[in-house]
Structure formats: C-alpha cells, structure tokens
Amino acid sequence: MSPSSTDDLAIEARGLVKHFTSGKSVTKAVDGIDLTVPEGTVLGVLGPNGAGKTTAVRMLATLLRPDAGTATVLGHDVVRDADKVRSVVGLTGQYASVDEDLTGTENLVMLARLYGFLGGSARARSTELLDAFGLGDAGDRQVKTYSGGMRRRIDLAASLVMSPRVLFLDEPTTGLDPRSRNQVWDIIRVLVADGATVLLTTQYLEEADQLADKIAVIDHGRVIAEGTATELKRSVGQGAVHLRLADSAQRARAAELVATVLGAEVSLANDPYAFSARVPDDGGPAVARLLPALDDEGIAVPEFSLGQPSLDEVFLALTGQPLDEDPGASDDETIEEVA
Ligand SMILES: Nc1ncnc2c1ncn2[C@@H]1O[C@H](COP(=O)(O)OP(=O)(O)OP(=O)(O)O)[C@@H](O)[C@H]1O
Ligand SMILES: [Mg+2]
C-alpha cells in the first residue's frame, strides 16, 4: 500500500481478534476482522445480534484490548497510543454513558468540563448541543424522564461535546420510531458534511444504505462481504413484489402471469389471496409491466408492494443461511477490561 493511501485512512484494523471466556466456554466474538475507513467517510458495519459489532467497536475505541491483530485511529495505535486515540474519538454505545439521574444540561456541562471547557464555555457548549439536537426544552429534566428518542439524541450530543474527528456509533437508532430515526440520520449527515469520519453499526440494511459510503457485513466475528449498498443489494437482486388479489380464484392465473413477466419463480402465501416473487437483477422494467398485464386479464390487485431486499435476504444470499438469532448475545455487557 502506498504511503499516501495509508495517510488517508481514519481507521485501519488488521486481523482483530477477541475471545471471551466464561467457565469452560470460549466465544470468538471477533475472529479476525480487517476494516479500513478513509477519512471523511462513513463505514456501516452490518450484522445480526451477536455478530461481534459492539466488541469490534469497543476495541477500536480503546475500551477493550484485542487478543490479536492491530488497529489504528488517525494513525494512533489503539493499544500503544490509547490516550491519543481517546482524544480524537467520540463513542456512543448501545449501553451509553450519560448519567440518568442528572439533567441533560448537567450531563453535557460535566462532560464539557472534563474535556477542558471552562465554566461559562462549558455551559455555552451544552446549550449549543441541546439546541442542535432539539432538546432545548428538556435540558433541565433528568435524563431518566426522557423518551427513547430523546435518550438517543442526548447520547449522541454527549459524544459530540468535543467535536470528535472520528465517531463510533453503536446501533444509534435501534428501537427508535421512524421520525426519531430520521432526525438522528440528519444529525449524522451534518457531522459527516463537516468532515467527521463515522463508523456505525446497525442491524438495518436501510440505515447503512442511507448513511454509509461502504458497508461491511459481519457474521460470527468475521467480515463476510464488503461493498457499497448497491453492490450488496445487487448480490440479492432487486427485492420482491408482494401481491394480494381481490379474488382468490384468480391466484393461479395471476401467479403464472407474474412468473412469465418477471422471468422469476413465484411463491404462494398461506393466505389464498396472496403471493410474492423475487425480482431479478434487471427486473425493474418488468415490474412496471405487471399491473397493466394483470389488468388486461381482468385480475384486480388491491394490494401491491415492492420491497427492498431485507437484511435477511442479504444474509441468505451471502451465506446460504437465514439470519440466526444468537441467544447468547444479550444485554450482559460488562466492561471487563480497559486497555
Ligand atoms: N463481555 C462479554 N463476555 C462474554 N461474552 C461476550 C461479552 N461481550 C460480548 N460477548 C459475546 O460475544 C459475541 C459478540 O457480541 P457483540 O456484543 O460484539 O455482538 P453485536 O454484534 O454487538 O450484537 P448486538 O446486535 O446484539 O448488539 C456474542 O456471542 C456475545 O454473547
Ligand atoms: Mg452490539
């Protein structure tokens, strides 16, 4: 690799490994991950529960020491130069760090003081952030009274007190309603427009699609695919069409017609009125012809939808396996080791 391309990387991880041992069982949480994130870009790390996303982020943010491999953030080694890394990164976790008993303002002022803002300027920074995150009216309330969406925004605000150049966002919108999710996305877009580098983990392909320049799909602690959202989607086709008819007696004929127009297999739902079909790669124009073709045959279609490929479909295509829930991956986060 040429020196100039290395210089442009905000985050570079090579062969990162982390095991957890509890009793006799060993979990390979991260099993040899390589990641590169050019400065000023967004990497989406996409994976199901227990894939190793949080563990990877915690190693990069210096909260956990890797068992093997190396990683640098803006050129600083996450083990040897952990202090330097901490001075340039912001982290908001799934299990975030604001104090629930303090008010929004108190949390931000406290953090600002920690980062060296003096009295008045700490308060000014807090006010500025609360306003930017639409929390101006909630600043005097204890964080434990906040809704989930407000809570997520105060977490984000807390991670931005010192305008980090590199930001780790661990599932920043999990559990948020669509409106709050959009607000958080907007905030992240503004940060990136201002030059920040973001590594965000998510379980949603759509979130990665909205925000990320590149996506790394991880499963069982390994990167199983990497590329742009378009590249990943291309690997699973264009998604699927779902139809529900007015008359179940017409389903067989309708399914046959759809199969012919799309050139794809149709699957019949348990619901006798409904069926769906995968849309092939170049199937966009054919989808547009479906409704007129059905109409010509006198088949009424009161419900028709075209869905993006889901994360399940991406996984199915990438691994040949459906997404599996790891029952061991739960809320049992313990900060067990700090580098
Ligand atoms: N402190 C810990 N002690 C023991 N095992 C752990 C610990 N942290 C994580 N693990 C295990 O490591 C694996 C990866 O967990 P991790 O939290 O990194 O996954 P994740 O991708 O962030 O999942 P989620 O989407 O549920 O947040 C899981 O099997 C989990 O149970
Ligand atoms: Mg996690």
> Which of 18, 19, 20 maximizes ligand 1 atoms within 8 Å of its Cβ, making it the mutation to test the pocket?
20
Q: How far is the CA of 174 from the centre of ligand 1 (A)?
A: 16
pLDDT reported for residue 145: 96
Pairing of strands 166-170, 89-92: parallel
Q: Angle, nearest 10°, between helix axes 148-159 and 119-132? A: 140
Contact 83, 42 (CB under 8 A): no
Distance of CA 50 from the midpoint of ligand 2 (Å)? 7
**Atom nearest to 328 CA in ligand 1:** 31
Instruction: Give the distance (Å) from ligand 2 centre to CA of residue 133.
Output: 24
pLDDT at 306: 85
Within 8 A by CB and 6+ apart from 147, the residues are: none
pLDDT for position 183? 81
- pLDDT averaged per 10 residues, the chain (length 339): 61 97 92 96 92 94 95 96 87 70 94 85 91 91 92 86 87 82 85 93 87 94 90 74 94 96 86 88 85 95 83 71 50 40
Q: Which residues line ligand 1 (CB under 6 A)?
A: 20, 22, 27, 29, 47, 49-55, 94, 203, 326, 328-329, 334, 336
Amino acid, single-letter form, for residue 122? A
Residue ID of nearest Cα to ligand 1 atom 30: 329
pTM for the full predicted model: 0.75
Beta-carbon count within 10 A of 318 CB: 15
- For residue 211, the SS3 value is helix
Cα 20 from Cα 22, distance rounded (Å): 7
Length of the chain: 339
295: three-class secondary structure by DSSP = helix
Report, in this order, helix, strand and coil percent for the chain, each rounded to 5: 40, 25, 35
DSSP string computed for 156-183: HHHHTTT--SEEEEESTTTT--HHHHHH
